[in-house]
Structure 1
Amino acid sequence: MSKYKLFLLRHGEGAWNKENRFCSWVDQKLSENGVTEARDCGRLLKEQGYKFDIVFTSILSRSIQTAWLVLEAMGLEWIPVVKSWRLNERHYGSLIGLNRAEMALQHGEEKVKLWRRSYDITPPPIDESHPYYHEIYSDRRYNTCDVAKDKLPRAESLKEVLDRLLPYWDNIVVPEIRKGHTVLISAHGNSCRALLKHLEGISDEDIANVTLPTGVPVLLELDENLRPVKPRQLLGDQAKIQAAIKKVEDQGKSKHM
């Protein structure tokens, strides 16, 4: 029997989603379309009668901005929003800033799919010569983390995302759920996929085929042991959701000129 409701949300489209680039830990605001997605998401949730008690976000602007817009559309601006780097997008290392389709042309679609979607393959790490290294690691937000800046990742597999996310889930998020609070996690494609893998017991192989489009809320109904009692629900117009999933999956395909 369903005891708790948990909502996961991949932020609305960001500027680099639009450009099909690996954004990762580079801070980006939402695109105009992303703002619309977030507002539409909030309106949908309000129309369906859902209410949240607390929201968790990463410390990246696109995740926080999405949460704000959703709450504004729901008339819930007053509820707590709690931020942690542990909900950040996966750290794509030296791939940050690169265009996925160009990389597929260069390295092959299979290699890019492995880098993007596999569970335990870590891309090459970022180093000081990378054009975005200093922008990330000199950012003041990373002084607020619960680990020293030099211990923060330089690249991550999805498995490593789950490893850094789980202590936060267990110690901070789960107690809120157990209080009977309805929780929204407004985060990123890979932090949400990692959490889905954990909650739904998805295999290392099958997680590669789990795709979350931007701005589409995912409802999980959980039992007292926080195990799903039914399949996850992607809320909204199902035809539009399937088209959005295909668009995300096609990002890693080469565009032959």
Structure 2
Amino acid sequence: MDRLLVLVRHGQSEWNLKNLFTGWRDPDLTEQGVTEARRAGALLAGEGISFDLAYTSALGRAQRTCKLVLEEMGLSGLKTIEDQALNERDYGDLSGLNKDDARAKFGEEQVHVWRRSYDVPPPGGESLRDTVARVLPYFVQEILPSVLRGEKTLVAAHGNSLRALVMVLEKLSPAGIMKRELATGAPIVYRLGPDATVIEKRDLIV
């Protein structure tokens, strides 16, 4: 049985391009982001990969990425489940701020702590630990059973919600996951054993 799980961070968004904290705000993809999503689909199709099921967040940039990936693979209309449990980390009061302006307002060291510590949230927002606590139960209860049943599964989501999954799948420490960067539109392909451990992992280079 092929227990396939593929994670894809959404393509570049308008706010990625403008260097803004995005979180639960809902900007669309840029033209580059659309290209990245389509390229991810072409890469996956070129690997002979197909899907039985897809999951995405409640945010448009991830949903559009998911749709574009599937279109490129000839899988338009595939059952896709949307849930805010897979939303990006909520940046709270930082949402919508330019990252350079945030450093000027709060101080570079403080912004670095909010962005790169595991358990210190920005005002009104979530830490990565909070994001893991939101994403992981959904993964364990909804996504993982699909994979273990042999349903080849795509998850199109966000840098930090996917970090939560990568942390668990790859058994990374809090310090290790904070150093892990996930490129936009770059698929990560996992094959799992019957006990849900990773037996193969590949990064498809965009």
Q: TM-score range by the shorter chain?
A: over 0.9
1:214 to 184, 193, 197: 184
Paired residue for 1:8? Answer: 7
List per-residue Cα deviations over 1:37-60 (Å, max 9, x = no partner): 101111111111110110000010
Q: What is the deviation of 1:192?
A: 0.2
SS in 1 for 2:120: coil
Of structures 1 and 2, the larger Rg is shown by: 1
Paired residue for 2:198? Answer: 228
Answer yes or no: is the 8 Å Cα contact 2:2–2:152 preserved in 1.
no
SS in 1 for 2:22: coil
Pairing 1:111-190 to 2, within 5 Å after superposition: 111-125=110-124, 155-190=125-160
CA distance in 1, matches of 2:112, 2:196: 31
2:202 partner letter: Q
Q: What is the deviation of 1:113?
A: 2.9
CA distance in 1, matches of 2:52, 2:109: 42
CA distance in 2, matches of 1:109, 1:8: 31
Answer yes or no: is the 8 Å Cα contact 2:94–2:102 preserved in 1.
no
CA distance in 2, matches of 1:201, 1:113: 24
SS in 2 for 1:205: helix
Paired residue for 1:41? Answer: 40
1:118 partner letter: S
> What root-mean-square deviation, in Å, do the aligned CA atoms of Structure 1 and Structure 2 show?
1.6
Q: Runs of at least 4 residues of structure 1 off by over 6 A? A: none
1:57 partner letter: T
CA distance in 2, matches of 1:53, 1:87: 19
Paired residue for 2:68? Answer: 69
CA distance in 1, matches of 2:177, 2:110: 16
CA distance in 2, matches of 1:189, 1:106: 24
Q: What is the deviation of 1:109?
A: 4.2
Answer yes or no: is the 8 Å Cα contact 1:117–1:207 preserved in 2.
no
SS in 2 for 1:229: strand
Pairing 1:28-107 to 2, within 5 Å after superposition: 28-107=27-106
Answer yes or no: is the 8 Å Cα contact 1:3–1:224 preserved in 2.
no
Q: What is the deviation of 1:188?
A: 0.2
TM-score using structure 1 length: 0.76
CA distance in 1, matches of 2:36, 2:55: 19
Q: What is the deviation of 1:110?
A: 4.1
CA distance in 2, matches of 1:87, 1:108: 30
Question: Which runs of no fewer than 5 residues in structure 2 stay unpaired?
Answer: none
Q: What is the aligned length?
A: 206
CA distance in 2, matches of 1:190, 1:209: 12
Answer yes or no: is the 8 Å Cα contact 1:118–1:207 preserved in 2.
no
Question: Which runs of no fewer than 5 residues in structure 1 stay unpaired?
Answer: 126-154, 238-257
1:100 partner letter: K
Q: What is the deviation of 1:5?
A: 1.9
Paired residue for 2:170? Answer: 200
Q: What is the deviation of 1:114?
A: 2.3
Q: What is the deviation of 1:119?
A: 1.3
**% identical aligned pairs:** 42
Paired residue for 1:253? Answer: none
